[in-house]
Structure 1
């Protein structure tokens, strides 16, 4: 597993802040994609989730996360309704590509936390998972998920 230190440039996202089961992600992605099509918003990357609670110590229906899609820079920032367009300023992350089942993601998280401690990084925000494909498209062992932790170097 290769953990990288990366600078992420300014980005705009369409997001839905959600409280509920992570199994609802498909519905949320569908809503975001439908919104983008209706509003003629150009997508700028793969769907993602930012987690504010951990599945290890949170009941499935109590999970809190943002489901989002990157959108083009010319998309207007808005706070109306369920879908919000927000901007995330340039920031540093530790990043790793997780290949395979989502069930093994806790092992990836553990390795990243250990790496951050060993290499003097301070995790300063919630983890982000970027989904480059889905279980509806490929077998479980071919899933590709990038995990990012926002950090500062101490």
Structure 2
């Protein structure tokens, strides 16, 4: 298990798509969302301000409420399903996970135990920021920053 830390996150602008999907449709929903936003950024002549993320607003596997997005350097206009928004400043518990996505449930379990020990409660979305992708790295080398907003 990687180290778990408490960190202050500053507000930053994003372009994002909010949608609902099932667990079975998650991979396609994420891929489609990333592609649409990346294409739109290219159309605008802009580059992402950081790696892509997915925020999870619930854990109902048959009806996941997710936000798919990219940070941007400065606020940009949305278009259609792509919305301009901000990730608000917050305190988060974070863990850099190295390895397959299938291990996320174990990582989240460790993070929940850490929060309980430190008398913290989750508030809001859970964020997964993908620092590389399965197309760029073997499964054992995938890097994902997992953050949970807390109070």
TM-score (norm 2): 0.91
Residues of 2 paired with 1:30 and 1:76: CA distance?
17
Gap regions ≥5 residues in structure 1: none
Give how far 1:141 is off.
0.5
Residues of 1 paired with 2:47 and 2:139: CA distance?
29
Aligned equivalent of 1:17? 18
Cα deviation code 1:43-83 (max 9, x no counterpart): 110000001232xx522xx322110000012x2354x4200
TM-score (norm 1): 0.89
When residues 71 and 11 of structure 1 are mapped into structure 2, their CA distance, relative to the original with a 3 A threshold, is: same
Matched positions, count: 146
Residues of 2 paired with 1:76 and 1:97: CA distance?
28
Contact 1:94 1:150 in 2 (8 A): yes
Secondary structure, in 3 states, of the residue corresponding to 1:110?
A: helix
Residues of 1 paired with 2:146 and 2:134: CA distance?
17
Aligned equivalent of 1:134? 133
Residues of 2 paired with 1:77 and 1:34: CA distance?
14
Residues of 1 paired with 2:64 and 2:89: CA distance?
27
Matches within 5 A, 1:2-151: 2-20=3-21, 21-24=25-28, 25-54=30-59, 57-59=60-62, 62-73=63-74, 75-76=75-76, 78=78, 80-151=79-150
Residues of 2 paired with 1:124 and 1:48: CA distance?
18
Gap regions ≥5 residues in structure 2: none
